Amino acid sequence: MSRWDVKRVLVLGHRGSIGKYPENSLLAFVEAVKAGADGVELDVWLTKDRKVIVMHDETINRTSNMSGKQKEMTLEELQKADLGMKQRIPTLEDVLETLPKTALVNIEVKDIEAVSEVLRIINEFNAEERAMISSFNVNALKLTREMNERITLGLLVGDEKIMPLIPRLKEELNLYSVNVPIDGISVLGFERFKTALMWLRGLGVKIALWPVEEEIYYRKDNLKRLKGLFDIVITDDPERMLNYLKEIES
């Protein structure tokens, strides 16, 4: 049975625990799990020498003291970059090796060319039951499903245009979850956002919420007002979120 199939709300550290530590660093991932998160969400790209590294952007400019596109750099070059707090850019192997075997790992594929390597690494670490592959790129999810019929898949929603395709994609890809930005509340308004989640619920998919702006979870008690309409919360600050979820449940 997949480790994702539980009856309670799962909490994942967004790029680790970026409220407090350098994003997508081993320190951020370890501290998220120490704080009580069920696991972490991270982003992967392929390097010039076909290594899978953990990095959100297409370049290392924003999050390190170096600049350049990771696809044009080797792992050795990339690991000279400093993320802050003495952290280096980790590989996916580093993360799977470092985190407890109980920790869930939501791997967002930014680069379709990374799919086969990501699946190879998951297999090598016997991590299929605790890994989710998520992406905005439907073709990346299709390729993942062609290569592995069992792995947990999550479709990331960037805007409303994808919504009409979800019923078909759910069946075609055997989607586990649709991963929705909580920031949709700012775009749609609370009631329309809630209606969209209810519609997704009716399709029988799990709902994962993720933030661009973390505070939207807490503003006007938005998350509390969505109680029962989400299964996973991806958060910049797992400790704060876990305390808030306890309040919601009490």
| Catalytic residue numbers, as ranges | 14, 56
> What is the domain class of 10-42+104-249 according to CATH?
alpha beta
The residue written with tokens 């989640």 in the block is: 197
Confidence of residue 159 (pLDDT cuts 50, 70, 90): confident
pLDDT tens digit sequence for 166-224: 999 999 999 999 999 999 999 999 999 999 999 999 999 999 999 999 999 999 999 99
pLDDT tens digit sequence for 86-133: 999 999 999 999 999 999 999 999 999 999 999 999 999 999 999 999
What does the pLDDT read at residue 1? 59
Q: Where are the beta strands (DSSP E) in the chain?
A: 10-14, 39-46, 52-54, 104-109, 131-135, 152-156, 177-181, 206-210, 232-235
Q: Per-residue pLDDT for 229 more than 90? A: yes
Q: Are strands 131-135 and 104-109 parallel, antiparallel or unpaired?
A: parallel
Residue 178's DSSP bridge partners are 155, 207
Ranges of each domain in the chain: 10-42+104-249
